[in-house]
Structure 1
Amino acid sequence: MTDLTGLNAVVTGGNAGIGRAMAIGIAKAGGAVSIWSRNADRNAEVVDEVTTLGGRAIAIPCDITDETAVIDAMERTVTELGPLGCFVANAGIVEASPIVDLTLESWRRVLATNLDGAFLCTREAARRFVAQDSGGSIIVLSSTISRYGGADLASYAASKTGVLGLARTLAVELARHRVRCNTLIPGWTRTNINADRQADDRFMAATIARTPMRRWADPDEFHEVTAFLADPKLTFHTGNEIIVDGGYTIY
């Protein structure tokens, strides 16, 4: 098991789904976690879960599309936990719509959270890492939708493809500061964000048939890969895209 004792991490959207699993994974490996998300009640539940595991966590209500809120959340994080060691840009939303019905307002709302939010958060993390001169790790969450077309998901696909370019640039630009940036690309995972698709028997059958593992992932299966990507000992691992999809994109 990866040992993250002494590492302080931020996980945006860390109170549900894969984000929650990533926060728990860091905590299980010994790291302290700051949960940034807008839902204070769910934030508190994850803090309690981490505490029960014997770890340390704080929760900070934060709208990642608000530049001032992101800056303030980072300042509070390092004040309460200590120097930043890992930043996980996970928060995201989906608004499904056929392209002919997709409104500009919906398009912009998804891009504002998934791409602009990732930019604001990783920029603030980069500033903190450079100022600390301590090195560090940034993990950006994309999706397998960045590898294929998906009906009704134009805004989500565009945003999750966009973060790939952001992450690659961060990996190159921040390497001189000993800051690594890697992208985690999950496949079909049982979370609330896709509850409607899980309720569709035909869709489930089709996606499971195309997945060599013959099932969807459980969020808890992202514990170890998150700890791996956060591990400060992996000093030469950057610019990588790790796909965890049960083989879906190669089948």
Structure 2
Amino acid sequence: MKNLFDLKGKVALVTGGNGGIGIGMAEGLAMHGASVVIWGTNEEKNARAAERLRQHGGDVRAAVIDVSDEDAVKAGVADILKEFGRLDQAIANAGISIRRKDLFDISIEDFRKMEGVNLHGVLFTLREAARHMVERAKNGDGGGSLVGIASTAAIHGAARNEHYAATKGAVVTMCRAMAVELARYKITVNSICPGWVRSEMTAGAQGWDKFNENVISRVPMGGWADGEDFSAIAVYLASPASRFHTGDTLVIDGAYTIY
């Protein structure tokens, strides 16, 4: 029987792929034979991540791309196609968070900054990848996987974080709409809602005793997730095993949101 999770010959893009969830996903893809492109805004972090991924023997590229810049995303995808000739999976993982504020203190500038990366960046990335996948399908080579990384903030009440929650809820519904529109081309589109994950974004909370006692202690699986906990889902969504799995929102949070 053919190995459903063999990704040799496939090319995957992971934005925000130089740390946290992103590098965990990228590493899973590299381990299973995919060529991997990571985008991040820190060149030094990109280089370290790329070196780590190359330990698995595959073809790895890294580029400094700000996903909130539509032209940069278009150029970045064009570079991937020029280099590899195809793109089989795009994971729009890049995201930001800014200091929590009371609802009445959230400025339009705060909202627009969050929206630029967390929502527009996802749209630009998945749309440009889809543009290529649709053209390929019209030439008889259908298929492809698009993944938007949302958050459990899209599900539960994220007090003093309405601007972040709004962008992540929008990612979920946008991916559902894309799933319906692109299904005719055999392109799957899914979103993922991670819970509390160790990363640079959550570094402050990780060392905050009160937060760990009051919030992390309520995660039924216990403790924080790591980027590596998202490796398998990236591989599954890139593989033939998920060819009929689309329009879904996968929650990976150690059962936090249902407890």
TM-score (norm 1): 0.97
Cα displacement string for residues 73-99 of structure 1 (whole angstroms, at most 9, x for unaligned residues): 001011112311000011100012222
Q: 2:118 corresponds to which residue?
A: 114
**Alignment check: 8 A CA contact 1:139 1:230 kept:** no
Match of 2:212 among 200, 204, 211: 204
AA aligned opposite 2:256: Y
Q: 2:17 corresponds to which residue?
A: 14
Distance of 2:135 and 2:49 partners within structure 1: 29
RMSD: 1.2
Counterparts of residues 43-58 of structure 1 (less than 5 Å) = 43-58=46-61
Match of 2:229 among 206, 212, 221: 221
Aligned residues: 251
AA aligned opposite 1:151: A
Match of 1:178 among 174, 186, 199: 186
Structure 2, gaps ≥5 residues long: none
Aligned-residue offset at 1:233: 4.1
Q: Please give the secondary structure, in 1, of the residue aligned with 2:91.
A: strand
**Alignment check: 8 A CA contact 2:20 2:226 kept:** no
Q: Please give the secondary structure, in 2, of the residue aligned with 1:191.
A: coil
**Alignment check: 8 A CA contact 2:89 2:144 kept:** yes
AA aligned opposite 1:127: R
Match of 1:144 among 136, 146, 152: 152
**Alignment check: 8 A CA contact 2:147 2:189 kept:** yes
Q: Where has structure 1 moved over 3 Å in runs of 4 or more?
A: none
Q: 2:26 corresponds to which residue?
A: 23
Structure 1, gaps ≥5 residues long: none
Aligned-residue offset at 1:46: 1.3
**Alignment check: 8 A CA contact 1:50 1:57 kept:** yes
Q: 1:89 corresponds to which residue?
A: 92
**Alignment check: 8 A CA contact 1:174 1:180 kept:** yes
Cα displacement string for residues 173-228 of structure 1 (whole angstroms, at most 9, x for unaligned residues): 00001100011111111111011111211111222332111211111111111101
Aligned-residue offset at 1:66: 1.1
**Alignment check: 8 A CA contact 1:9 1:87 kept:** yes
Q: 1:162 corresponds to which residue?
A: 170
Q: Please give the secondary structure, in 1, of the residue aligned with 2:129.
A: helix
Distance of 1:46 and 1:125 partners within structure 2: 22
Q: Please give the secondary structure, in 2, of the residue aligned with 1:222.
A: helix
